Amino acid sequence: MVDQLLEFKEILRSRKTSEQRKPDKQTRKLLLYLFTSTRGGFTRLRIIIHLLEQPYNTHQLATMLDLDYKAVQHHMKVLEKNNMVSKIGEKYGTLFCLSNFLELNISTLDEAIDKLDKKMNYEKIYM
């Protein structure tokens, strides 16, 4: 998992554009909560990294991430509810892509990855 976090960081750094701005306190708090303070944070981060490439539907994401369809469906609902992803279409074939809100605040994920990395290393050392 730690190697994957480093890979995610590299992917994010390669995408940085001049459009990105420093997020406000509430946005930062929301992103850190969704990706570091909840049990599904790492899975949601994995989903977002895949959506950086192109839009995918729930089935495609479940297959790529080797996760249960219902688990991915749950994470997509959480991400959509918190304005991290946007839907394209309806029903089974619905595609998901990054929301404009997340695109503008994507640099905060860099901080979330660092925090998740520290948390995972801390748990390994002290458990």
Where are the strands (E) in 46-102, listed by range? Answer: 56-57, 85-88, 95-98
Number of compact structural domains in the chain: 1
According to the model, what pLDDT value does residue 127 have? 44
Contact 53, 46 (CB under 8 A): no
Q: Is the pLDDT of residue 126 over 90?
A: no
Tell me the mean pLDDT in the region 18-39: 81
pLDDT digits (tens, 9 = 90+) for 40-91: 999 999 999 999 999 999 999 999 999 999 999 999 999 999 999 999 988 7
Look up the CATH number of the domain holding residue 91.
1.10.10.10
Per-position b or e across 52-86, b if 16+ CB within 10 A of its CB: beebbbbeebbeebebeeeebeebbebbeebebbb
25 lies in which domain range? 2-126
Q: Given this model, what pLDDT does residue 30 score? A: 93
Residue, of 64 and 21, whose pLDDT is higher: 64
